[in-house]
A = this chain, B = another copy of it.
């Protein structure tokens, strides 16, 4: 009988450290993991759509498909824009085993990707985290950075400042010893932060490349469509190390890198690495002065890694 796991169940049993471990383990056997191109069916005005991301892991003999609905009008009635479920199938005998809420898992794997990037790319002593955007994806982005660096100070910016204040209360509840500041001045945030983490759907840059100081690491996870461009693309030629989660995905979906490529500011060929290479080779930044950028758009095999990990953990406990 099909198992059903709610968002709450997954959230209770499967944590950031699990997700980071499972994604790094997946990097170790990507040759066994095959994903098909995602399928998108538009269902209405704007970005309203259904998205389907199937993937199989021949080593673990498990397949997953993430089914995501995108309903841009939902926030007006207090509902989330994206809602996801992941179905898990045993390839050994073809049995469909479980359906797992994929909303937390999507946020978690995206936070884990930023965590992995921060671990390899940021300064070892990075302790000030600046967050631009405090919406639905922000909490797990915060957790991903907390997991890998001795963060003691968090600076928050959000277009609507009230929401940044609410987010401050949320993280102080869980981490009362943190220093948390809300700012309305993005330049200040950018200049003071060791790590800048952007998670907005912005169609224009949310900070100026000129404000970025030597030694800074930037994670950009907000843009996943060509129209979205939260990162000032002038940072790419200025950066010493530009890494992406999935090169093919980035070419199709990262608005800022597509624009930089189209305008000749920074071509796709100039991207230095995919995240898996850093993880497999335990590759870190060359020096403390380097500016480093990680751009993430997501891919089905990250969903597979955390869905399989959560499924296995939920069945052990």
Contacts and interface: CB of A to CB of B under 8 A. Distances in A.
Contacts of A6: 1
Interface stretch (A88-96, A139-147, A191-199, A274-282): A88-96
B52 A39 contact: yes
Interface in A69-125: 69-71, 74, 77, 79-83, 85, 87, 89, 91, 93-96, 99, 101
A79 B48 CA distance: 39
Chain A: number of interface residues, binned into ranges: 35 or more
Contacts of A55: 41
A50 to B, nearest CB: 5
B67 A93 contact: no
A65 interface: yes
A74 to B, nearest CB: 6
A236 B89 CA distance: 40
B79 A93 contact: yes
A271 interface: no
A56 interface: yes
Contacts of A1: 4, 6
Contact of A34 (B41, B54, B77): B41
Copies in the complex: 2
A67 B87 contact: yes
A83 B91 contact: no
B36 A39 contact: yes
A278 B87 CA distance: 37
A2 B99 contact: yes
Contacts of A2: 4, 85, 99, 101
A1 B39 CA distance: 25
Contact of A52 (B44, B54, B69): B54
Interface string A1-28: 1101010000000000000000000000
Interface in A30-75: 34, 36-37, 39-41, 43-44, 48, 50, 52, 54-56, 58, 63, 65, 67, 69-71, 74
22 contacts: A1-B4, A4-B4, A4-B99, A39-B39, A41-B56, A41-B63, A43-B58, A44-B58, A44-B91, A50-B63, A50-B89, A52-B54, A52-B65, A63-B69, A65-B65, A67-B87, A69-B95, A71-B91, A79-B93, A79-B94, A81-B94, A83-B96
Interface of A: 1-2, 4, 6, 34, 36-37, 39-41, 43-44, 48, 50, 52, 54-56, 58, 63, 65, 67, 69-71, 74, 77, 79-83, 85, 87, 89, 91, 93-96, 99, 101
10 tightest Cβ-Cβ pairs between the two chains A and B: A69-B94, A71-B94, A85-B96, A36-B39, A83-B94, A43-B91, A50-B63, A52-B54, A99-B99, A41-B56
